[in-house]
Amino acid sequence: MKFVDSASIRIEAGKGGGGCLGFRREKYIPDGGPDGGDGGDGGHVYFLGQEGLNTLSEFRFNRLFRAKNGQPGQGQNKRGKSADHLVVEIPLGTKIYDLETDELIGEMIENGQKILVAKGGFHGLGNTRFKSSINRAPRKTTPGSPGEVREIGLEMSVMADIGLLGMPNAGKSSLIRQISSARPKVADYPFTTLHPSLGVVSYYDEHIVMADIPGLIEDASEGVGLGFEFLKHLSRAKVLLHILDVLPADASDPVKNFLTIENELAKYDKALASKPRLLAINKMDLLPEDERVEITEKIIKAIKYRGEVFYISALNGLGCKDLIKGMFKMTKENEE
């Protein structure tokens, strides 16, 4: 399914039912008096956080969500039935905006969380409400008030424990295939990942979620390439895992590639750039065993990286068990 991370929809709450103009009419009871009942309230519109949803694709074609109106009042002081509320399920990690005012209405964080986005109209009053000592036969009623109508913007950020960083073809998709059951597309050309994919990584009876986003290139923070659209997804990750290709197929410099990614993060969001970081140097299987230490030490020294480094091959699984342990350890250390 295609990943859609933003959508605009129209929300219409229900109108309140009108009050009834009625008088009691029974045999042997003259001048029975007013008996018009109130109407029912219109339905509210709520958003409900639903675990397991990972796309806003449903809202690409279904853009109108309308709650039902309250029923009008009836004679014999019968009140109209209030409408059921409309509940719209959305993925966790979705921010909800009022497009007319740019107001952030709320953010869906927890499974089962409910956010009221449009209030239904108040019920109208029947003529019984207006009876008094000086007005025994009132003919006044009130209509129900209209429900709220709002143009809503939805913006979803992938919720993941680990966010993958790296240049195109650094091996991010291969890694997520190696250590999880996710099956993102893998090929020998750039930008095979066109939308974020999630993978669940298990370690004994514990689980963490890893997000693979499209590869970043220089000036991605300014809209170049595919990375700009998805950089915001990394903001929700607890830990960033930078995948560095030790032997790029395009003969580019691994040091320059690393610094390019780090620079783009800093330009996009300094808070994002300061997130806890792990470094995995990938494609170690392509280096001669007797040269691996020398080559990787030069790279680490040149990029001035002081954190924990893992030496892996996403293709054959070399070093991936140690990397998984490191990811779980750092995720636990950075739990909110």
Amino acid at 147: G
**What distance in Å separates the CA atoms of residue 165 and residue 172, rounded to the nearest whole number?**
8
Residue stretches of the annotated binding site for GTP: 166-173, 191-195, 212-215, 282-285, 313-315
State both tokens at 261. Answer: 């990614």
CA angle 7, 236, 322 (to 5 degrees): 130
E strand or H helix that includes residue 235: none
Annotated binding-site residues read 166-173, 191-195, 212-215, 282-285, 313-315
Neighbours of 89 (CB within 10 A): 13
Q: Could you tell me whether strands 162-165 and 239-245 are parallel, antiparallel, or unpaired per DSSP bridges? A: parallel
Q: Answer yes or no: are the C-beta atoms of 20 and 126 closer than 8 Å.
A: yes
- Cα separation, 293 vs 130, in Å, equals 90
- DSSP assignment of 141-209 equals --PPPPPPEEEEEEEE----SEEEE--TTSSHHHHHHHHSS------SSS----S-EEEEEEETTEEEE
Q: Binding site membership for Mg(2+): which residues?
A: 173, 193
